[in-house]
Structure 1
Amino acid sequence: MRQPKALVVRGGWEGHRPVEATELFLPFLERHGYAVRVHDSPDVYADADEMARTDLVLQCVTMSEITAGQVAGLRAAIEAGTGLTGWHGGVADSFRASADYLHLVGGQFATHPGKEPGERRGGPEDNFLPHAVNFTALGREHPVTAGIEDFELVTEQYWVLHDDLNDVLATTTHATRPWHPWHRPVTCPAIWTRLWGAGRIVVTTPGHDLDVLRHPAVRTVIERGMLWATRTASGS
Structure 2
Amino acid sequence: MTRRRALVVRGGWEGHRPVEATDLFIPFLEVNGYTVRVEGSTEIYADATALADTDLIVQCMTMSQITGEQVAGLATAVAAGTGFTGWHGGIVDSFRACSDYLHLVGGQFATHPSVPPCDRRGGEQDAFLPHSITITDHGRQHPITAGIEDFDLVTEQYWVLHDDLIDVLATTTHPTREWQPWHRPVTSPAIWTRHWGAGRIVVTTPGHSLDVLEHPSVRTVIERGMVWATRTASAS
TM (norm. structure 1) is 1.00
Gaps of 5+ in 2: none
Letter of the 2:28 counterpart = F
Letter of the 2:78 counterpart = I
User: The residue matched to 2:176 in structure 1 has which SS?
Assistant: coil
2:209 maps to which residue?
209
1:187-226 correspondence runs (5 A): 187-226=187-226
Q: Is the aligned partner of 1:167 residue 2:167?
A: yes
User: The residue matched to 1:11 in structure 2 has which SS?
Assistant: strand
In structure 1, what is the Cα distance between the partners aligned to 2:7 and 2:215?
A: 24
1:6 maps to which residue?
6
Letter of the 2:15 counterpart = G
In structure 2, what is the Cα distance between the partners aligned to 1:170 and 1:4?
A: 28
1:110-149 correspondence runs (5 A): 110-149=110-149
Percent of paired sites with the same residue: 74
1:27 maps to which residue?
27
In structure 2, what is the Cα distance between the partners aligned to 1:207 and 1:136?
A: 19
In structure 2, what is the Cα distance between the partners aligned to 1:188 and 1:216?
A: 22
Q: Is the aligned partner of 1:89 residue 2:89?
A: yes
RMSD: 0.4
In structure 1, what is the Cα distance between the partners aligned to 2:2 and 2:106?
A: 30
Once the two structures are TM-superposed, the CA of residue 2 in structure 1 deviates from its matched residue by 2.2
Listed one character per residue, the Cα deviations across residues 118-161 of structure 1 (whole Å, up to 9, x for unaligned) are 00101100000000000000000100000000000000000000
1:29-48 correspondence runs (5 A): 29-48=29-48
In structure 1, what is the Cα distance between the partners aligned to 2:129 and 2:35?
A: 38
Gaps of 5+ in 1: none
Letter of the 1:115 counterpart = V
Runs of 4+ with >3 A deviation = none
| Number of equivalent positions | 236
Q: Is the aligned partner of 1:102 residue 2:102?
A: yes
User: The residue matched to 1:191 in structure 2 has which SS?
Assistant: strand
1:151-162 correspondence runs (5 A): 151-162=151-162
In structure 1, what is the Cα distance between the partners aligned to 2:231 and 2:15?
A: 31
User: The residue matched to 1:138 in structure 2 has which SS?
Assistant: helix
2:54 maps to which residue?
54
In structure 2, what is the Cα distance between the partners aligned to 1:156 and 1:111?
A: 9
Once the two structures are TM-superposed, the CA of residue 234 in structure 1 deviates from its matched residue by 1.4
Once the two structures are TM-superposed, the CA of residue 96 in structure 1 deviates from its matched residue by 0.4
In structure 2, what is the Cα distance between the partners aligned to 1:12 and 1:159?
A: 21
In structure 1, what is the Cα distance between the partners aligned to 2:51 and 2:219?
A: 26
Q: Is the aligned partner of 1:232 residue 2:227?
A: no
Once the two structures are TM-superposed, the CA of residue 3 in structure 1 deviates from its matched residue by 1.2
1:76 maps to which residue?
76
Listed one character per residue, the Cα deviations across residues 15-61 of structure 1 (whole Å, up to 9, x for unaligned) are 00000000000000000010000000000000000000000000000
